[in-house]
Structure 1
Amino acid sequence: MTDRRAELAANLARVEERIAGACAAAGRKREEVTLIVVTKTYPASDVRLLHELGVRHVAENRDQDAAPKAAACADLPLTWHFVGQLQTNKVRSVIGYSDVVQSVDRAKLVTALSAAAVRAGREPEVLIQVALDAEVGARGDRGGVAPDGVEELAAAVEAADGLRLGGLMTVAPLAGEFAGRQRAAFERLMEISSRLRATHGPATMVSAGMSADLEEAVAVGATHVRVGSAVLGVRPPLG
């Protein structure tokens, strides 16, 4: 086993132990939570090693890095998630490899994604990114729509050709009433998710929690956690 493979295996085991422990503490089954490994800035060789180690969901946040990496790993049965802020001029490329776009936060982006998906003959799942620090009617500093805009955007996604509404995503806010209160932030997201499911039943996915706060997200019901540094490390990337 190479040093890098051994490192990734050990890190994955620790993260798996954390997720399993959080599920047990919350009275949830381990299979209720999907681990997405965020491979941004790391090379395709790491993605291949992760696949060997059992990872099936990977995420990227910059199209210029993600597109060539996804192409280099096109032979692997992976689900690719796009989690970064997305400009409309990158949509066509992102649709080419992304199975899930987690950062939908405005109607213009829904329109662009729909057109690109239909053109490419693909049907990606999309999540509405919720900015829990945004004022009413505004977008967050790190992307995302304010909670009051979720229903309107969900309706736009459901009406759009080529897209499937999967649910919600958030990043724990750095400012505002939820700053430093990850669990409270995730609880708020779950409240919004409950309302969304009442009107859009299949939209059950809740993507929340990262390396530092995955336990809080699992505790309140997140279905997916996005973990980068706890798996890949915080040292300078390889390659």
Structure 2
Amino acid sequence: MLLSKRKIATRQRRNLVTYSNPDSLIAEQFREIRTNISFVTKKGKCPVLLITSPAGGEGKSTTAANLAVSMASQKENVLLIDANLREPALDYIFKISHSVGLTDVLVGKASLEDAAYRTEIGRLEILTAGISPKNPTEILESERMKDLLQEAMTKYDVILIDSPGVLKVADSRVLANKCDGVILVVSSSSTGHEKAWEAKKALEFAQANIVGVIINEMK
């Protein structure tokens, strides 16, 4: 299912357009994506959605951030998790500290309640990556990660996870089958059909439920 084909200027890629310019065409496109997602997720259940891309530089983190803002503006309790432990980006996009985050919760140094950053944007909370661990794949594959998601499902209406590129490292693949669905973000100018196909096959091999694709057109 094609969730959206959106066009944004390169200089805007790291902007929270859905927050700074909610009446823009881009913000409207994110509202369309939000609506499309509601059609492919189970009603009455807190969906856990993984947002990934084949490699890097395809606008994945910006997409995750703006989608989270759009959902939170609908009075939904949204948790946005930065699971890109190698190259985190959400702290930069939202201009917040990542000194305490996901890794701290997973190793028992902090609780979800203490580590989640409450923003001023609707009901959006962000769990940054935290300090980069030596074993990202293993920590994300752990039983504690599964427990964290179970806990989060009791506190939020929707959980979005920003993860690394599927073809770069195994992190996204070990997370994929812990989630209800995966959204694949591809760039029309840089991804290429072969990489997109390889990413799709890798996710299917990991038994991921691919709920849709967002084609990101950059000027």
Normalised by the length of structure 2, the TM-score is: 0.39
Higher strand proportion: 2
Bigger relative contact order (CA 8 A; separation at least 6): 2
Normalised by the length of structure 1, the TM-score is: 0.37
Structure with larger Rg? 1
Higher helix proportion: 1
